[in-house]
Amino acid sequence: MRIVLAQFTSGPDKMRNLSRIEPQVREAARRGATLIVLPEAASHAFGAGRLDHQAEDTDGPFTQGLFSLAKELGVTIVAGSFRPADTVGSINRVYNTTLVLDGHSEHPLILTYDKVHLYDAHSYHESRTVKAGDTLLTFRHGDATIGVATCFDIRFPEQFKELAAMGAHVIVVPTSWADGPGKLEEWRLLTRARALDSGVFIAAAGQSRPNHETEAGEKSGPTGIGFSTLVAPDGRRIVEAGYGPELLDADIDISHVAAVQEDVPLIRLSETGPLRQSRM
């Protein structure tokens, strides 16, 4: 299976972002990818205006535009977006949603995963404007089972182990990982650690860093550091991007998952529980 991680910096307008995403997706498909992973907040960057003004349900123009592209190209696109959630006081909260736009299977469909672990850290309070999800998601992609997580979820190994127990061979992680002192080292460590915890491939696509290398290492807010990566089940980093926009592609063999999990039996496959949702 060929995976492409599409790293770019989104802006404040979802339809302009869609127009920037389209050529990346087309190029990824031209390279032979069937699974294309875009960053968290691909529809609308954090810190670029009110999230509720750009949030949409799955029948909205951003989602439907990506879905049409997925069906046209016969690929599955994973991308970060926002959906309306609820109102708390004067704040219209949204879900931080990872969209799965499956145009690869015989019966195209849209799936959603709402980020479970919100980024209330380093003086940032995502929960003020975002409602947490409470359900995990896996889906089938050819012979593989794909699990879904989003950005800050990567600090919680139990979620990745649970997805592996649900049969995931790959866990996709759309991300908008902030830059700052020590943040790149954290990101590299956590992506490898989650692969080693769960014995699966980690396919993490991040927002590229604003101004790229010129401000590398300085605080960037929740707007991305780059360094999208694909990590093997044994913790080996297969590919890694830099700070700027980039397409990373790699072929993976999902049989490697069973071999690693047999050699280091940390995961026990189990039945679907109350916080699991499996779309086969």
How far apart, in whole angstroms, are the C-alpha atoms of residue 93 and residue 96?
Answer: 10
Query: Computed from CA positions of residues 9, 234, 1, 164, in that sequence, does the dihedral angle turn out positive or negative?
Result: negative
Active site residue 40: yes
Active site residue 158: no
Question: Taking Cα atoms as reference points, which of 199, 206, 200 lies closest to residue 178?
Answer: 206
> Which tokens sit at 203?
């396919």
CA triple 196-7-229, angle to 5 deg: 15
Strand partners, 112: 99
Catalytic residue among 115, 131, 162, 246: 115
Question: Taking Cα atoms as reference points, which of 84, 7, 10, 76 lies closest to residue 41?
Answer: 10
How far apart, in whole angstroms, are the C-alpha atoms of residue 151 and residue 168?
Answer: 18
Catalytic residue among 14, 40, 126, 161: 40
DSSP code for 178: P
Active site residue 115: yes
Phi-psi region of 62 (alpha: psi -120 to 50; beta: other; left: phi over 0): alpha
Catalytic residue among 14, 151, 162, 246: 151
Place of tokens 């979802």: 14
How far apart, in whole angstroms, are the C-alpha atoms of residue 56 and residue 81?
Answer: 8
Q: Which residues are catalytic?
A: 40, 115, 151
